[in-house]
Amino acid sequence: MSSSDSTSSVSFLPSGKTPQSSAISLYARATAGFEERLEETRRLLREAHAEFGDALLQSSSLGAEDMVITALLAELQLPVAVATLDTGRLHAETLALIPQIRAQYGIEVQVFTPVADAVVHFVKTRGENAMYESLALRKECCGIRKLEPLSRMLAGRGAWITGLRREQSANRAEVPFSEPDGQGRTKLNPLAAWSWADVWHFIQTRAVPYNALHDQFMPSIGCAPCTRAIAVGEDFRAGRWWWEDENAKECGLHKSKSNEELKSGAHA
């Protein structure tokens, strides 16, 4: 794919668009090679299900990429479990997608939540918005609200599917289609080669439900306190943990680590 086909030009808000522009009107466009990338993704999903069967799971953030994957699983009639993490700090618009998935695809999304006592203790001792105080506290919060529930979500699974794409950030520029996750499982990234334009072209042409916050200039959406809209000229993930150094902008979900580190909420 040539540089002109990549979405580096839309990793920030395109100029000339009004605040009323939808994410589809902002980003969706057909690009050279899309059908080939789509067919490759279909092949990867079929092969993953053939290899792992019931041990395969889609770990969905309910972001645009993950909604595409869920739609493809339904289209291909692959009985793959779909699960998500409800951290307790998600936007209402994010959670609203769970019943939409059920209604449109007949798929029940499994929801994993953090241990209530751990959250209460963290908030009581660290504060409701401790994530703004230091990187260590933000990662501790992610450990409690994301990593520990993720360890339960993936327990007993042989492989999991994510919506990671190479274009999302410098940290993800070399994301492979398949990789070991460091826990004896295989992590599959079937959209690794897709552009942001590809994602939205698929959403537009298949009427895939998506988070209404994408229409408010939030291309990357996490917990409410840790997500803001981006402006013209800003990077795709500039709205995530915007007060931190760019190299720190991962929550730990996509770092390889031991089971003990996952359980304790430690970060690489």
How far is 163 from 56, CA to CA, in rounded Å?
A: 15
Reading the block at residue 110, the tokens are 């499994």
How far is 181 from 49, CA to CA, in rounded Å?
A: 18
Give the DSSP H or E segment for 236.
none
Tracing tokens 């042989």 back to the chain, one arrives at 158
For residue 117, the tally of other CB atoms under 10 A from its CB is: 8
8 Å CB contact between 12 and 188? no
Q: Indicate which residue of 141, 223, 226, 251 is catalytic.
A: 251
Reading the block at residue 247, the tokens are 């190299």
User: Annotated catalytic, 251?
Assistant: yes
How far is 261 from 140, CA to CA, in rounded Å?
A: 12
Give the active site residues. Answer: 251
